[in-house]
Structure 1
Amino acid sequence: MRSTTTSASPLPPRQVGEIVYRPRVPHIMFSGYHHQPDATLETSRDLWWHTGDLGYTDEDGYFYFVDRKKDALRRRGENVSSQEVEAVLLTHPAVSAAAAIGVASDLGEQEVMAVVQVADNTELDLKDLFTHCDRSMPHFMVPRYYRLVDAMPATPTGKIRKAALRETGLTDDDWDAEAAGLTPTRHH
């Protein structure tokens, strides 16, 4: 694990940074993106390959994936893993697909938004979904905003296109838990 600010500085255990690596054998990995020299330069800096993934190591040297760098959120001084938020959202019986994205906050940094696709023939009460999240995650991870969609924007391989969701940003149709008088109660 390396610091995202200093490309060659190892981080102490449990501190999140970008996963970077350097091959020990020449020509063991590809030499760059086909006809995309800018993308090659962006991911290969200072002889280190920058994966775009965030993670950490434990005291025994085992690696743990946290999130894609572009999908990670920062809310009120806390790092939030979009994948952890999504995992909790997907445990709700009425949710068939979920994405957690960051949206602009009046306080700086970001607020967490949950974009959810409701399972077929199911109704979803957003107050119930908020309570479900509040019971299952630290207060700083509980989404403030919720959006219901009929279908998630997806890549040809079926992966949710979070960039498309982020581009939309907040809309007047998004449900705001705070405006509904709800605040997270569980503290870690």
Structure 2
Amino acid sequence: MLHLASRSPRRAELLARLGLEFGLLDLDVPEQRGAGEPAADYVRRVAREKAGAGLLEVVAVPGAVVLGSDTEVILGDRVFGKPADAADAAEMLRALSGRSHEVLTAVSLVSAGREAQAAVLTRVAVETMSDDAIARYLACGEWQGKAGAYAIQGRFEAHVQRLDGSYSGVMGLPLHETAGLLRQFGLLP
């Protein structure tokens, strides 16, 4: 039985597109970057920790497989997690405005005695946004709970000039790579 270790409705929606039945695990895994920890290592570690924490929840289920994922927005050496409030979100959007940044999503699949992981890097170019455009976007509320203070699949998409990589990865679960991991575990043909 497959389990998704995530509170994200977007991840559940994306995973459902693969046509698999799965259970949801509502976990509280700390997402804190260690001092000097490279962004890629951080994202991979958090995805692995989510999957591992999920496996502990379903360890009594025979054949349990748990999927954990983490997505972060990266500009230079700065990792933009989820904004604390609207002011934090506005600051993030001002920093991303008129620039290209990276979105890194890591996916970990674990079962008793087995683990596999994939990571996808996508480059996103954002148009220059006026203060009014940022305020209008913040007013819609989509930014809440989103890395980098935006949802690519929502109103923010109108501000994206170019995307090089995985659209579903920016949403939170790169489907091509996730399907590959699920094939390795015999969950997809």
Q: What TM-score does the superposition give when structure 1 sets the normalisation length? A: 0.26
Higher relative contact order structure (alpha carbons within 8 Å, sequence separation ≥ 6): 2
Q: Which has the larger radius of gyration?
A: 1
Q: Which has the higher helix share?
A: 2
Q: What TM-score does the superposition give when structure 2 sets the normalisation length? A: 0.26
